Amino acid sequence: MEPLYRFEGSLTETVPVGLVPEGIRLDVRFEAQVTAGVLVGARVRGIDYLLLRGDGVGVIDAYETIEAGDGRVVSAHAQGYIVPPEGVELPPPEVLLSPEFTWPDLPLPMHGFALYRTGASDLAHLNRIAASFHGHVNVGRGQIFVEAREPSVVSDPVAG
């Protein structure tokens, strides 16, 4: 089954907000291009208000736009998790927030869901779905890869 879309791109800027009560907050901007699914060739731009929890899990709260270049624009709000591979631990906050810190070359798996808003009539079905996504981010290389899929249609057991 073809994905709703797949995009690949770059992390363009990381602004460390700092140590907050829930963990470490980073604002991470990214740009990408849609390589499969609807809107192939579209430009993706976004920002993730990322929270790195004390247990090493990153909480994704990203807002992005997918711009087709022909006037069609889709806004997405993605939420999910970045989960480090088994045995990988984040350094302590003072190390991670140090200007000298460099991220390792390591793909970090991520997964979650996205909600959409668009005024494009041919994409109006996106206004009523929650797509699942998975992918990875490699902060050391400054790369991001995401693939989103539409939900499977299942019958409602309550409605019959």
Q: What is the pLDDT of residues 81-139, one digit of tens each?
A: 999 999 998 888 899 999 999 999 999 999 999 999 999 999 999 999 999 999 999 99
| Domains of the chain as residue ranges with CATH | 5-149 (2.40.160.20)
3-state helix, strand, coil in the chain (%, to 5): 10, 55, 40
What pLDDT is recorded for position 69? Answer: 87
What pLDDT is recorded for position 155? Answer: 52
Question: Is the CB of residue 18 less than 8 Å from the CB of residue 97?
Answer: yes
pTM for this model (two decimals): 0.91
Q: Side chain identity at 160, as an amino acid letter?
A: G
Question: Is the CB of residue 57 less than 8 Å from the CB of residue 23?
Answer: no
> What's the average model confidence in pLDDT over 143-156?
82
Please identify which residue in the block is written with the tokens 């970090």.
Answer: 108
Give the count of beta carbons closer than 10 Å to the beta carbon of residue 45.
Answer: 15
pLDDT of 156 over the 80 cut = no
pLDDT band for position 152 (cuts 50, 70, 90) = confident
Angstrom distance (rounded) from CA 16 to CA 130: 29
Question: Is the CB of residue 135 less than 8 Å from the CB of residue 147?
Answer: yes
Angstrom distance (rounded) from CA 11 to CA 29: 6
Question: Is the CB of residue 26 less than 8 Å from the CB of residue 16?
Answer: yes
pLDDT band for position 158 (cuts 50, 70, 90) = low
Over residues 16-67, the pLDDT tens digits come to 999 999 999 999 999 999 999 989 999 999 999 999 999 999 999 999 999 9
